[in-house]
Amino acid sequence: MSETTPQAPALLLIGPLMPALQQRIESTYTTYRLWEADDQKTFLNTHGDQIQGIVTSGIHGCKGNLIRSLNNLKVIVSFGVGYDAIDISAARDRGVAISNTPGVLDDCVADTAFALLIDVARGISAADRFVRNGRWLKEKFPLGCKLGGKTCGIVGLGNIGKAIAKRVSAFDMNVAYYGRHQQSDVPYRYEPDLKALASQSDFLVLAVPGGNATHHLINADVLKALGKNGFLINIARGSVVDEAALVSALQQGIIAGAGLDVFAHEPEVPQPLLEMDNVVLTPHLGSGTHETRQAMADLTFENLTLYFTNGQLKTPV
């Protein structure tokens, strides 16, 4: 527990945050670290009634039971744009305000998507292993797939999807997108049918939020439509893809390869994926640059300050 002034609102931290952000919060507010409690039930019985705010992240989330057990909870402030791990309806039922960190991470997440795309297309990670393992001395590295002229299908054309579209357009790729609605102010082709988009795409890039509405949106049928020359890129959430169907599509050559930053049960990655050279795996690093994580930390702190100063949030969910 960290204590500041007796008047400082008490906050519950669900899991560890970026060290500088955690330190800033702990020196400004009275805080409790939930993940360090030996017995969370006893801990909440003792301290629960003081807690006015929860600080969490897209990864740590916040369960409905916890929200319902805190009688004086007023706000949940989250570090991250995705809030699928937070029980939003439990919070809304109790009139608890919620904020996330949209906008500040779009460029870095889009860079990650593009990095995975160019890596799977040209086999950069596999080529690196090839050189390191001394294979260049004995054989030729297989040819890759050109980007220019190919179609990138973007599933979810929000701010991150648009930043991806901008990047792939600069590489002379054609862009089409799938989403709930056609957008009137974008120069990209709308495809209202996800399977049709997959069949037209050389690269299918996922940029939709996680949660019930998109759970297993990418299933065996969509992967079959993407086809044996198609690549899947996922920087969204592992839950968007039926991971077992993806593993089997890769094993059977139903799709050409995949670039994955997110997984169904992070940090667990299915063993077969670890053994495939046509799959590039990154450890959910989408927004992970010094600059962007600092911007996310600043926005998280600003939301807290605003809420406890005048009851407002800069970026409410």
Choice between 17 and 173, CB closer to ligand 8YV: 17
Question: Is 284 part of the annotated catalytic residue set?
Answer: yes
Choice between 50 and 282, CB closer to ligand 8YV: 282
Distances (CA, A) of 217 to 3, 106, 107, 156, 242: 45, 22, 24, 11, 8
Residue 25: exposure state from Cβ atoms within 10 A (0-12, 13-18, ≥19) = buried
Question: Is 68 part of the annotated catalytic residue set?
Answer: no
Residue 102 in contact with ligand 8YV, rule: CB under 6 A = no
Q: Which two tokens stand for residue 57?
A: 């992240």
Binding test (CB under 6 A) with ligand 8YV, winner from 37, 59, 196, 313 = 59
Site for ligand 8YV in 104-163 (CB under 6 A): 105
Choice between 188 and 263, CB closer to ligand 8YV: 263
- Report the length, in residues, of the chain: 317
Least separation, in Å, of the C-beta of 218 and ligand 8YV? 17
What is the spatial distance between Cα 202 and Cα 153, in angstroms, rounded to a whole number?
8
Choice between 57 and 214, CB closer to ligand 8YV: 57
Least separation, in Å, of the C-beta of 260 and ligand 8YV? 13
**Does the bond joining 267 to the residue before it have cis omega, within 30 degrees of 0?**
yes
Q: Which two tokens stand for residue 164?
A: 């991806």
Residue type, 238: G
Residue type, 236: A
# binding residues, ligand 8YV (CB under 6 A): 11
- Report yes or no: 166 and 188 within 8 Å, Cβ to Cβ: no
Question: Is 266 part of the annotated catalytic residue set?
Answer: yes
- The greatest distance separating any two alpha carbons of the chain, rounded to the nearest whole angstrom, comes to 71
Choice among 60, 167, 284, 293 that is catalytic:
284
The total of other beta-carbon atoms located within 10 Å of residue 182's CB is: 13
What is the spatial distance between Cα 78 and Cα 60, in angstroms, rounded to a whole number?
9
Residue 306: exposure state from Cβ atoms within 10 A (0-12, 13-18, ≥19) = middle
Choice between 12 and 250, CB closer to ligand 8YV: 12
Query: What x/- string results for residues 79 through 98 when contact with ligand 8YV is judged by CB under 6 A?
Result: xxxx----------------
Put residue 169 in one of left, alpha, beta given phi > 0 → left and psi -120 to 50 → alpha.
Answer: alpha
Binding test (CB under 6 A) with ligand 8YV, winner from 58, 61, 123, 161 = 58
Least separation, in Å, of the C-beta of 46 and ligand 8YV? 28
Secondary structure (3-state) at 98: strand
Least separation, in Å, of the C-beta of 59 and ligand 8YV? 4
Choice between 196 and 295, CB closer to ligand 8YV: 295
Residue 57 in contact with ligand 8YV, rule: CB under 6 A = yes
Which one of the spans 146-154, 160-168, 219-227, 284-292 is the region binding ligand 8YV (CB under 6 A)?
284-292
Binding test (CB under 6 A) with ligand 8YV, winner from 286, 297, 299, 307 = 286
What is the binding site for ligand 8YV (CB under 6 A)?
Answer: 57-59, 79-82, 105, 284, 286-287
